[in-house]
């Protein structure tokens, strides 16, 4: 066993692929073996940061006086799940008996953190190598094993992952308890997060802009000359009388051309996809949520049809240049599109191949493996990726832009037109709905001569100002990526990525969490803030908690840690300082109490206060808006017989609807989750007791339930 090399993959399916390539063909309990290798796996987070009550019993209850909670040092623990514990036992045993470990975890920050924590908990004392690959094809795995890297190369990546986890713990644990105990009405839990809260603030700000918007009417002077529509370049007219006077004036004068300019231009090729831009396009084109797109692209990656998806670059590494032609030739279903590119050698341009713009992984591209067994959603995502890959190597699109200026008396007019001379890369999207719409909007203008004069047909156009648009998932993802700045230019978007909020791989989950907590809601594609979401942001006075731009600077520091240019300890101390100041500030604040919904019983003292007022709707105790108390990462979900962690297979936490012969109502469950115990319950049937008893149920430190 001592001469064995142990490979630890991120999940069983990946372990199976790696084992097949390495010749580890004997299936054992929890691993594959053969040819000098043992290939085992994790599934999700086996380890997590310790919870508050693991440090001291005092932190088990939520009390303002115990805040802030700052552990002297942060520890990790195994999650309490039978399947995970058994598999960890396998890993621990293999690691202790081998000569070398090969970390085959997901090639990203979270994947590195998961594996490092497992190896730390398993007390790994042997050398560790790192498999770092961008696709799961057999060839990619073989190439990766021929070029295994030293684990130490990824120490900064691990440090950034640890700093992120500790930062999220410090802010999330403290701020959630702080705001819940200070401003939560009844049993409401007010969830605060380093990325979640500024994202909600963006939506609330837009909501307020829309709510405050006052629609105004305006009038514009327009005219038709030689079947071309011109618009007056003067400011919009705010009253109809003035507009009608202008119309009378226009009817008294002929139209004169003062300038005619035609310019040829090129429209650059669209960049290849990073995860965010893929999620944006899938939302615009198919209405996919960011989370759905991430699920589909992950499936395509595991089926070996596309490269690693959780990326934030739109460039390819320069060493991929020799492989591109082969990938294009392998895309046989798209041969009608690839034929034009394959007539000539593939150019090595800096707009596509640039090592300086690639960090851990390159842009998402097809692997060339022929796809099969795809559902409709996966086919759509695959098609987006393939077409974008092909379009990048097409000629640029050539257009002719026309600008015509004219005047009627002293009033100046303008018209613009556009004509596509050579579609170039647009040919890849010729049958696409948006491309057809663009070609329909193409406006070919007649040739005008400066100085020509003629009759025209003027009229008054009446319009109304429009409010800002609601965020869709597409525009919200873009706002998160650019820390709230409205950026259309691709180059500028690339520069702002380091200061975005969240990571490409986590943004979808952040948006879903806001939906589940009922802070935001969706109407068709429009995302709006609920009253609870608005109240929460209004209650937060601390700008750093809700500013996308300031939170973006934290994100940038995490990226600098990843590059070895910023200290993890400095980052941690800055966050601790922020949490201490935030706690002091909030404890002395006064603010509005926040509730979530309907069905909560009114307490006696509230009744006294509100005797003279009409009864308000009761608040709803929403169990499914709460996080699992055990893993802290997932929301609770209602099943057939119990509430349980939505990641139950890994976490294992549940509260049954019936316990010791007593049906638990939502208030009982809520009390267990928020206080760790219920009020006294009548008629509990305890094994060994001949008579029913009245007692409280409590949740112990192992997240099991017992009688008090």
Active site residues: 308
Q: Which residue has the tokens 């190598």?
A: 129
Q: Do residues 506 and 199 make contact, with C-beta atoms less than 8 angstroms apart? A: no
Q: Do residues 423 and 430 make contact, with C-beta atoms less than 8 angstroms apart? A: yes
What does residue 695 show for φ and ψ, rounded to 5 degrees? Answer: -160, 170
Residue 602 in 3-state DSSP?
A: coil
Q: Which residues have a Cβ under 8 Å from the Cβ of 674 and sit 6 or more positions away? A: 62, 187, 189
What does residue 420 show for φ and ψ, rounded to 5 degrees? Answer: -85, 115
Going by DSSP bridges, is the β-strand pair 5-9/100-104 parallel, antiparallel, or unpaired?
parallel
Which two structure tokens, joined as six digits, stand for 705?
Answer: 């339930």
Distance CA 672, CA 668 (A): 6
Residue 142 in 3-state DSSP?
A: helix
Q: Which residue has the tokens 């406006």?
A: 443
Is 236 exposed, middle or buried, given 0-12, 13-18 or 19+ CB atoms closer than 10 A? middle
Distance CA 95, CA 4 (A): 10
CB neighbours of residue 18 within 10 Å: 26
Distance CA 184, CA 64 (A): 12
CB neighbours of residue 28 within 10 Å: 14
Residue 129 pairs in a beta bridge with 102, 150
Q: Which residues have a Cβ under 8 Å from the Cβ of 73 and sit 6 or more positions away? A: none
* CA gyration radius, the chain: 31
Distance CA 132, CA 142 (A): 11
Distance CA 70, CA 170 (A): 7
Going by DSSP bridges, is the β-strand pair 100-104/128-130 parallel, antiparallel, or unpaired?
parallel
Residue 641 CA: distances (Å) to CA of 80, 638, 654, 664: 21, 8, 10, 11
C-alpha torsion sign, points 695, 696, 702, 704 = positive
């Amino acid at each position: 066993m001592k001469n064995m090399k142990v490979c630890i993959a991120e999940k069983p399916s990946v372990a199976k692929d790696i084992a097949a390539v390495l010749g580890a063909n004997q299936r054992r309990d929890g691993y594959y073996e053969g040819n000098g290798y043992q290939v085992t796996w994790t599934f999700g987070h086996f380890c997590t940061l310790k919870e508050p009550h693991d440090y001291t019993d005092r932190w088990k209850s939520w009390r303002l006086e115990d805040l802030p909670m700052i552990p002297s040092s942060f520890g990790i623990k195994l999650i309490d799940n039978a399947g995970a514990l058994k598999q960890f036992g396998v890993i621990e045993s293999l690691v202790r008996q081998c000569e070398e470990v090969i970390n085959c975890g997901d090639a990203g920050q979270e994947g590195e953190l998961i594996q490092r924590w497992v190896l730390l908990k398993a007390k790994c004392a042997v050398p560790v190598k790192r498999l770092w690959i961008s696709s799961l094809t057999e060839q990619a795995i073989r190439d990766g094993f021929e070029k295994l890297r030293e684990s130490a190369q990824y120490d900064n990546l691990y440090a950034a992952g640890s700093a992120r986890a500790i930062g999220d713990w410090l802010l999330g644990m403290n701020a959630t308890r702080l705001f819940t105990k200070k401003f939560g009405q009844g049993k409401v839990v007010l969830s605060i997060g380093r990325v979640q809260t500024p994202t909600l603030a963006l939506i609330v700000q837009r909501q307020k802009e829309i709510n405050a918007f006052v629609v105004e009417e305006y009038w514009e002077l327009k005219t038709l000359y030689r079947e071309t529509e011109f618009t007056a370049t003067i400011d919009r007219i705010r009253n109809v009388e003035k507009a009608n006077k202008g119309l009378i004036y226009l009817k008294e004068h002929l139209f004169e051309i003062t300038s005619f300019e035609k310019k040829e231009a090129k429209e650059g090729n669209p960049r290849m996809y990073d995860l965010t831009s893929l999620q944006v396009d899938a939302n615009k084109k198919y209405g996919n949520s960011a989370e759905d797109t991430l699920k589909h692209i992950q499936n395509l990656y595991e089926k070996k049809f596309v490269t690693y998806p959780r990326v934030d670059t739109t460039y390819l590494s320069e060493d991929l240049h020799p492989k591109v032609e082969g990938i294009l030739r392998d895309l046989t279903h798209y041969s009608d599109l690839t034929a034009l590119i394959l007539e000539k050698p593939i150019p090595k341009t800096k707009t596509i191949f640039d090592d300086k713009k690639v960090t851990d992984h390159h842009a998402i591209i097809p692997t060339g493996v022929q796809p099969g067994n795809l559902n409709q959603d996966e086919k759509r995502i695959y098609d987006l990726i393939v077409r974008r890959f092909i379009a990048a190597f097409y000629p640029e699109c050539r257009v002719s832009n026309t600008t015509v200026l004219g005047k009627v008396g002293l009033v100046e007019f303008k018209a613009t037109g556009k004509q596509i001379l050579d579609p170039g890369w647009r040919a890849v999207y010729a049958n696409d709905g948006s491309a057809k719409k663009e070609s329909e909007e193409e406006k070919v203008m007649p040739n005008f001569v400066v100085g020509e004069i003629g009759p025209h047909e003027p009229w008054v156009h009446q319009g109304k100002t429009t409010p800002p648009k609601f965020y869709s998932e597409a525009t919200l993802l873009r706002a998160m990526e650019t820390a709230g700045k409205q950026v259309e230019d691709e180059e500028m978007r690339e520069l702002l990525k380091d200061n975005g909020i969240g990571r490409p791989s986590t943004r979808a989950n952040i948006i879903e969490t806001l939906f589940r907590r009922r802070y935001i809601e969706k109407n068709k594609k429009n995302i709006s803030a609920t009253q609870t979401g608005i109240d929460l942001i209004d209650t937060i006075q601390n700008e750093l908690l809700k500013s996308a731009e300031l939170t973006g600077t934290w994100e940038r520091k995490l990226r600098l840690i990843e590059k070895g240019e910023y200290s993890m300890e400095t980052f941690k101390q800055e966050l601790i300082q922020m949490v201490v100041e935030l706690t002091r500030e909030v404890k002395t604040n006064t603010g509005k109490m926040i509730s979530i919904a309907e069905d909560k019983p009114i307490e006696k003292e509230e009744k006294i206060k509100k005797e003279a007022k009409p009864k308000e709707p009761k608040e709803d105790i929403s169990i499914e808006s709460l996080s699992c108390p055990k893993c802290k990462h997932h929301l609770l979900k209602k099943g057939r017989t119990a509430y349980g962690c939505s990641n139950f297979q890994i976490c294992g936490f549940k509260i049954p609807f019936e316990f010791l012969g007593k049906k638990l109502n939502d208030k009982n469950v809520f009390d267990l989750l928020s206080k760790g115990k219920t009020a006294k319950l009548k008629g509990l049937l305890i094994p060994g007791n001949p008579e029913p008893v009245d007692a409280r149920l409590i949740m112990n430190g192992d997240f099991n339930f017992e009688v008090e």
